[in-house]
Structure 1
């Protein structure tokens, strides 16, 4: 569970840098004779440690367990302080010295990052303060222009909820976190009434992300069938395509019909609309049928008034 709501907006978060943090930093700068390179690796490691500690406290799962085995020589060549967050991607944890006024972002890491987080140390390196973050790919940004740390949690939560779904993995029985079997949302009577059982894979996901959809909760359903019925598991990766139905239904716990005016849109990887449908009064569902080939990407949007939820897919 993510810890997201506080009584007041936090502008920073201070973390003690324990002996364990310094041991990890020492391990990562081993065998580096250049003093400046060694210092860079040391500070980068402490910055990643601090952000990892913070995200762990807030319920995010990261992949930093192999940090002790990182190649120190490679780290000396690239000014790298990245941290991978499960189902979200990589963020960059940039060290900020005590008297600095700017967050500086090296050229080599200004792409493929979900966010850049500023981590400021005290003079004795006994504590680190997470000042905020930016998503702008700039050479430097003034610390006063950073977004507050609380907004980072909201930002990452939305990113996690809308992480790109790999349909090839679904066909192999590996399902994206947050996607459920129909039985986990709909009762047996609803299942028999609303769903035909002629699809190879059917998964669903509640769309109830806080401020989205004006408080209206709906269920996004994706049904998959290989065009060649004999193509399953590993064979599917090399040939054929897939027939897909994208459907939106009301949350059975809250309503029996969709709110009128809800729009379901499917766009291609270039953002061009492929198809769309709008719910009418008392509609039980809306859906769009499409076909996709290997490596093809598409985007599903659920729009109601000024609110929009987006979900990306890749075949």
Structure 2
């Protein structure tokens, strides 16, 4: 058995002063909750700074005076990565509690065990599992957390959760700008989704496709849900009616590098399509490939 790697942070007078200030901004019934949450955020912030990550407390809900009055959140915004939820764990607990308030817009959850005297905090591990209770024994290691965060920084993935707020990355166009009227009518006829959110991106594989270009389309439901069905499609652009034979559309888990789904065009295929339901907080990529040339776009929830 290998002892899991942990990281202990001393809770200084500064930490308790910050916790006191935040707790005083909440209601009397939430004072203790906010106090402990703030100490957990302080510990994770200290750890990430030691590991070379930049954080932005001002963008964190855990420092928002209004949010502190109504919700149970302990998030920390990490620049270029996303928000991590820092959940306090009492000394005798064997599980990490994750309130419903913290289920959205998080890349993961860190369990922070506070000692009885509140003089130190120990980071036990992290999880991407969204549940009210996650056993501490099921937590991933802190090393896995660093690998995961570095991977997100390197990939600069498209955050699909932003689409619900009508925030789209550069290069993602409305479908009407990419497809011809016949293709748009065909998609509308086949769709059984009510007013979905969709965007597309032009994909150019260079000389391998000669004068061909293809449109990669991604569609998500109109509202976020615990099960987020995602549709990925590939269509020829311009005057082309069919996709070139042998064109592959692949879904890959970015952490395991496992190809989860793959479809390939045959003669006279005018589109490719697959639908899947990723786990929340999942990091995945869509690859369009022809021969030895490929274009990959990463996404996260």
TM-score by length of 1: 0.54
Gaps of 5+ in 1: 1-7, 172-221, 228-240, 250-263, 279-298
Secondary structure in 2 matching 1:29: helix
Residue 287 of structure 2 is matched in structure 1 by 301
Q: Does structure 1 residue 244 correspond to structure 2 residue 244? A: no
Q: Deviations over 1:73-128 (max 9, x none)?
A: 53132111011112222111100011111100112222221101100011111111
Does residue 311 (structure 1) correspond to residue 269 (structure 2)? The answer is: no
The residue number in structure 1 matching 2:132 is: 139
Query: How far apart in 1 are the matches of 2:126 and 2:168?
Result: 34
Measure how far apart 1:43 and its partner are: 0.7
The structure 2 residue matched to 1:87, chosen from 80, 85, 105, is 80
Q: Look up the SS of the partner of 2:234 in the other structure.
A: strand
1:28 matches 2:22: yes
**Distance apart, 1:10 and its partner CA:** 5.2
Q: Distance in 2 between matches of 1:56 and 1:243?
A: 36
User: Partners in 1 of 2:232 and 2:25 — Cα distance?
Assistant: 51
- What does 1:38-187 align with in structure 2 at a 5 Å threshold? 38-65=31-58, 70-72=63-65, 74-160=67-153, 161-164=155-158
Q: Secondary structure at the match of 2:104?
A: coil
Query: What is the CA-CA distance between 1:9 and the residue it aligns to?
Result: 8.3
**Whole-angstrom CA distance in 2 between matches of 1:247 and 1:23:** 56
CA distance in 2, matches of 1:127, 1:244: 52
1:169, 1:73 → 2: CA distance? 29
Give me the whole-angstrom Cα distance separating, in 2, the residues matched to 1:28 and 1:99.
25
| CA RMSD, Structure 1 to Structure 2 (Å) | 4.1
Instruction: Name the structure 2 match of 1:268.
Output: 218
Distance across 2 between alignment mates of 1:268 and 1:62: 30
User: Cα deviation per residue 1:42-65 (whole Å; 9 max; x = unaligned)?
Assistant: 111111111111111112221114
How far residue 168 of structure 1 moved from its aligned partner, in angstroms, is 7.0
Q: Measure the CA separation in 2 of the matches of 1:22 and 1:135.
A: 28
CA contact (8 A) 2:60 2:77 kept: no
Deviation for aligned residue 1:245? 4.1
Change (3 A) 1:168 1:310: closer
The answer for the alignment partner of 1:208 in structure 2 is: none
Give the paired residue count: 206
After TM superposition, give the deviation of residue 16 of structure 1 in Å.
1.2
SS in 2 for 1:272: strand
Unaligned runs of 5+ in 2: 178-198, 208-213, 220-229, 236-245, 249-284
Distance 1:265 1:49, change over 3 A: farther
- Farther-moved stretch of structure 1 (65-74 vs 269-278): 65-74
Measured in 2, the distance between the counterparts of 1:302 and 1:19 equals 54
Q: TM-score, normalised by structure 2?
A: 0.56
Distance 1:66 1:33 in 2: 21
Q: Could you tell me whether the CA contact under 8 Å between 1:111 and 1:137 is conserved in 2?
A: no
